[in-house]
Structure 1
Amino acid sequence: MKDQTIDYILRATWQAVARMYNEEASKYGATMSIGFALLSIDKENGIPSTALGPQMGMEPTSLTRTLKSMEEKGLIVRKKNPVDGRGVIIHLTKLGLEKRELSKTTVLKFNDIVKDHLSQEKLDHFAEVAEVINGLIAEKQIYHTENEAEESAKN
């Protein structure tokens, strides 16, 4: 992978991880998105539906599909938000809690096996590289509109 661009390495690695998680989840009639959602929903208090999408980095259409599937599988229930009756709180069912533990075990196994094959120094460097990339993107230091470029030049 040494001759590959950084974005190619990131994309290819993420696709491999996603494929691995989807293959594992399919053994239990689920998907990686369902597993991730299960892990993102607070076990005791649930989560407002409006907060779940941004937390998972999912588009509303994809999230709606995932939540519908989870509801059909009996993993979640939607309850009116007691503070704001217009909103909905997503809660895990008993089955959802069980599947959440399975998802957690799956993720921790992946982490443990990867950690067994890398030194702490390499893991720290990996985290540092990811942090720099995320920072550059968040600060729009890679791509930004002409207006943003003009504003930056003025400052």
Structure 2
Amino acid sequence: MATPSSNPLHQVPRLDAQLCFALYSTSLAMNKLYRKLLRKLGLTYSQYLVMMVLWEQNEQTVSALGERLFLDSATLTPLLKRMEQAALIHRNRCPNDERQVIISLTEQGDRLREEAAKLPEQVLCASGCDVAQIVDMKETLNTLRASLMKNA
């Protein structure tokens, strides 16, 4: 007869066997690497994400930025205020709809683009992976995120 401790259904899950912990600890390691690399640019990781969206297409609404970055306006607004104080972005009310705020790059924010363009290669080197592995991993994670968001 099986005892509760020998029954696999009653065993406490091992930390190292958990996908959530692998994702969490990898995220911590990635953020630590980015913190080191972004210090030279004077950006936090969250600010870097906002800048990347604006470098792709300048003049975005706060809601469009939030959708792209999976952030709500309560999280995004203080971040954008700090970025405006650092002269990286401008925040202006939309003339056609006062409820919307348009975020655009300043010249100083736009100038960071060239330095930031070097980061992906540095991260690739630090990862110890080749480009194909990174692409596959990213696609797998995007699929996982989409599935989890459907069930959240």
Determine the C-alpha separation between the residues in 1 that align with 2:147 and 2:129: 29
Aligned to 1:33: 46
* 1:139 partner SS: helix
* 1:58 partner SS: coil
Determine the C-alpha separation between the residues in 2 that align with 1:85 and 1:73: 24
Determine the C-alpha separation between the residues in 1 that align with 2:94 and 2:73: 19
Determine the C-alpha separation between the residues in 1 that align with 2:103 and 2:135: 35
Go from structure 1 to structure 2 and tell me whether the alpha carbon gap of 1:136 and 1:43 turns closer, same or farther (over 3 Å shift).
closer
* 1:82 partner SS: coil
Q: Report percent identity of matched pairs.
A: 25
**Per-residue displacement from partner, 1:38-64 (whole Å, max 9, x unpaired)?**
111256641011211221122323312
Are 2:52 and 1:22 aligned?
no
Does the aligned pair in 2 maintain the 1:80–1:87 contact within 8 Å? Answer: yes
Determine the C-alpha separation between the residues in 2 that align with 1:21 and 1:48: 26
What is the correspondence of 1:51-90 to structure 2 with a 5 Å cutoff? 51-90=64-103
Counting matched residue pairs gives 138
- The runs of 5 or more residues in structure 2 that have no matched partner are 1-15
Structure 2 length normalisation: TM-score? 0.74
Deviation at 1:114, TM superposition (A): 5.9
Go from structure 1 to structure 2 and tell me whether the alpha carbon gap of 1:77 and 1:119 turns closer, same or farther (over 3 Å shift).
closer
Aligned to 2:130: 118
Determine the C-alpha separation between the residues in 1 that align with 2:103 and 2:131: 39
Structure 1 length normalisation: TM-score? 0.73
Does the aligned pair in 2 maintain the 1:47–1:89 contact within 8 Å? Answer: yes
Flag the structure with larger Rg: 2
